[in-house]
Each structure stands twice: as C-alpha cells, then as structure tokens.
Amino acid sequence: MPPPATATTAAAAAAPSPLAEHPPLTVLLLNAAHAIDHLVLLIFATAVGAIAVDFGFSRWEDLMPYATGAFVLFGLGSVPSGKLGDHWGRRAMMVVFFLGVGAACLLAAATRNAWQLAAALTLMGAFASIYHPVGIPMLVQHTSRPGAVIGVNGLAGNLGIAAAAVMTGFLVKYFGWRMAFVVPGFLSFALGLLFWRVVPREDAPPAKRAPKQSDLPRVELVRAVLILTITSTCGSLVFNFTTNGNGELFADRLRAVTADPAVIGALLGVVYVVASFTQIVVGRAIDRYPLKRLFLGIVAAQIPLFGLAALLHGWAFYAVAIAFMAFVFGAIPFTDALIVRYVDDRMRSRVAGVRLAVAFGVSSLAVLLLGPLVKANGFAFLLALMAAISAVAVVAITRLPQARK
C-alpha cells in the first residue's frame, strides 16, 4: 500500500506542470515575424531614391521625413500593443500583426503621392508596433535559455533587414518600387494565415496566469526600466540612423567602386547578414556571463568604429561598416534579456511596451532628421553623431543594477 500523501506532495501534485517549449513551427513563425517586421519598415528607406523620382522630388533627402509617422507609431503603438498582448492574448495579437502589416504594404504600393505614402507607412508602423512587445515575450515565455532564444530571434530580425536591402534593390531595379511593397505584403498575409491555423490557442492571457518568479521591489524595477529605456533609446537612434541611412551612405562611400543600386543593395545585404550572426554569439554569452559587462563592452566598441568610418571611403569603409554594424546588432538582445530576468511573464508585454514607446518614439527623430542632417552636414557628421550617442549609452549602462539569475 503506498504511503499517505503528505502536504508537500499533495501541493506538488496540485501545482501545474511547467509549460512545454513552443513547437518548432511556432518558433519558426515567431522568428519569421521578426524578419517581416524589420523588412517592411526598411523598404521605403531602400527604395527612397526611386520613389523620390517617381513623385517629383529632386533629392531623396526631401522625401525621408514622410516616413516619420511610421516610426512614431512603431514606438507609441507599443503601449496598447503590450497591454492587449498581456490582457487579450499574444497569439491573437500576432495574427493581427501579420494581416495588418500585409494590408498596409499593399496600401503603400497603391499610393500616388508623398502624403498618401506617408499615411500608408504610418498605418504600417502601427501594425508593426505589435511584434516587439508581443512576439518576443511570447517566444521566451517557455524557455530556460532566454539569451540563446533572443539571439536567434535577433538574427532573424536582422536577416529581414538584409532581405530588405537585397530584395528591394532587385525589385526596384527590375519591377519598380511598388512591387517592393507588394511581395512582402502577400508574404505577410500567407504567414498570418499559417500562424492562425497551426499555432495552439492560449489557455489564458498572460496577465491571468500564475506568477513564475518573485517581483522586484518597485523602486528597483522602476530604476532598471528607466535605465533600460535610456540605453534602448540610444540604441534605437543608432539603429534607425544606420538602417535607414546605410543605403545612401553606401552609395556615397562606395561611389568609386559601383553606382549600381542592385550591387549596392547586395553589398549592404552582405553586411547585414554577416553582422546579424553576432547576435547568435551574444545570445549564448548572455546565458553564461554577466550581462552588464557584456553590454558595456559591445556598446563601447561602437564609438571608435563610427569615428574611423567617418574618415574612410571605398573598400576600407566597407570593412569598417561590417564591424560597426556587427556591434550595433550585437547590442540588440540585451534589453529583452534583462526584461526577462527582471520582470515576470504576466506583465512583460506591458513593461516592454512602455520601454519601446519611449525608445522608438524618440528614435523616430532619427528618420525625421536623417535627410536634413546629411543634406546640411554630410555623412561624416552623421557618423560622428552616432559615436556620441553610443558614448551616452555607455554612461547609462554603468548605472544598471546587477541582473538577477
């Protein structure tokens, strides 16, 4: 006869079993969503030269500010997206993400002037705002290796950036800039329908689940989120300046090498692909070493690289560009990894949403100012400015508390 159950064993039997990791297809679709998210937001930046000619602008710099609304909504939309993700459900919000982004791409392709395109891009930014506060918390909620998972997810997002450079350059050259929006639009629709069909429904929204880790003291949590918001804002500014400006920066600095937009797009795509693999290395390191020290070293390395790039042209510039983009991309996983360690899953989407709203909202200024800054001061000034922004991030990182296990 088995011994009577003690209170401890009874409680253990009553406790819910740990959730299994996501099925591989769910993980694949969540990573593909990250690629789509970054791809669609950079189509305009890659095709801006062709769009400017079609809409009667004499300089591409004069058209860049029309994309500002997309990045403002990309940031501000993170707050309601995060709240809906926690309270309504992350799976449902991801279906909205795929279908909404697809519809916005097709609207952008149908526009006939700059203001219509600005409206379509703004709508795209609103739907694109769903992914980061919803998709990433959904991806890591069942894993015991958040650094590695976030690293692979970051690689997927940056491969989307590379795809934007290569695919948009090819489509613009051979089929026109409108097709550069149409193809990703239909791809997003297809992935959304697949996601809806194969991803299991959630048993309950995250906000209604039992806690998995103890909450930080409120003062320490507020301090951590504040500093993360500062570092994230600096990182987002640098990210937007580089990813939105690299197409024209490479055209300027590689002028002696090639003037073919398809070749420049391919060279830029190679930079993004090579640099993206940094996130795999960083993600694995996050699970093994202190985050603060790693974060500090990677951001600090950006400062001399931006300074050196400001002085170079041709293939020498191209080599340094691979290096500075590797460190820009390498810094991306840290904020999400720190949120995983500080914040319980019940409220990660909301905390991420607030942090992203501030960071992406402020960094949308990069898109607004990019054209005027380059037009007035040149790319050397822009590269020096990014070095200064990285220096501010370094100071903020030194104030981070030690991350919890």
Whether residue 405 is contained in a domain is answered as no
Nearest Cα to Cα of residue 55 among 177, 149, 153: 177
Whether residue 147 is contained in a domain is answered as yes
Q: Which residues of 354-369 are buried (b: 16+ CB within 10 A; e: fewer)?
A: bbbbbbbbbbbebbbb
Whether residue 125 is contained in a domain is answered as yes
Whether residue 303 is contained in a domain is answered as yes
Give the pLDDT confidence score for residue 370 in this predicted structure: 82
- In this model, does residue 8 exceed pLDDT 50? no
Backbone angles phi, psi at 284, to 5 degrees: -65, -35
Whether residue 7 is contained in a domain is answered as no
Give the pLDDT confidence score for residue 269 in this predicted structure: 83
pLDDT category, 118, cuts 50, 70, 90? very high
User: Mean pLDDT over residues 202-216, rounded?
Assistant: 63
- In this model, does residue 7 exceed pLDDT 60? no
Give the pLDDT confidence score for residue 1 in this predicted structure: 44
Least-confidence region, from 40-49, 54-63, 211-220: 211-220
- In this model, does residue 9 exceed pLDDT 70? no
- For the stretch 355-404, pLDDT in tens is 777 777 777 777 777 888 888 888 999 999 999 999 999 999 888 766 55
pLDDT category, 215, cuts 50, 70, 90? low
User: Mean pLDDT over residues 278-303, rounded?
Assistant: 89
User: What average pLDDT is seen over the chain?
Assistant: 84
User: Mean pLDDT over residues 208-231, rounded?
Assistant: 71
The count of domains in the chain is 1
AA letter at 142: H
Give the pLDDT confidence score for residue 183 in this predicted structure: 95
pLDDT category, 6, cuts 50, 70, 90? very low
95, 195 in Cβ contact below 8 A? Answer: yes
Whether residue 392 is contained in a domain is answered as yes
pTM of the complete model: 0.72
Whether residue 8 is contained in a domain is answered as no
- For the stretch 55-69, pLDDT in tens is 988 888 788 888 888
- In this model, does residue 107 exceed pLDDT 90? yes
Give the pLDDT confidence score for residue 210 in this predicted structure: 56
Give the pLDDT confidence score for residue 108 in this predicted structure: 95
Find the angle CA(89)-CA(93)-CA(96) to the nearest 5 degrees: 150
The CA–CA distances, whole Å, from 268 to 1, 187, 244, 364 equal 71, 22, 12, 22
Percent of the chain that is helix, strand, coil (3-state, to 5): 80, 0, 20
Within 10 Å of residue 204's Cβ, how many Cβ atoms?
9
Structure tokens at 219: 């003062």
**Which CATH number is 221's domain given?**
1.20.1250.20
Nearest Cα to Cα of residue 360 among 33, 77, 166: 77
Whether residue 11 is contained in a domain is answered as no
Within 10 Å of residue 376's Cβ, how many Cβ atoms?
10
pLDDT category, 275, cuts 50, 70, 90? confident
Give the pLDDT confidence score for residue 389 in this predicted structure: 94
- In this model, does residue 345 exceed pLDDT 80? no
pLDDT category, 213, cuts 50, 70, 90? low
Give the pLDDT confidence score for residue 207 in this predicted structure: 65
- For the stretch 307-339, pLDDT in tens is 999 999 899 999 999 999 999 989 888 888 877
Which of 9-23, 73-87, 114-128, 242-256 has maximum average pLDDT? Answer: 114-128
210, 17 in Cβ contact below 8 A? Answer: no
- In this model, does residue 241 exceed pLDDT 60? yes
Domain membership of residue 125 as a residue range: 23-202+215-397
- For the stretch 180-201, pLDDT in tens is 999 999 999 999 999 999 998 8
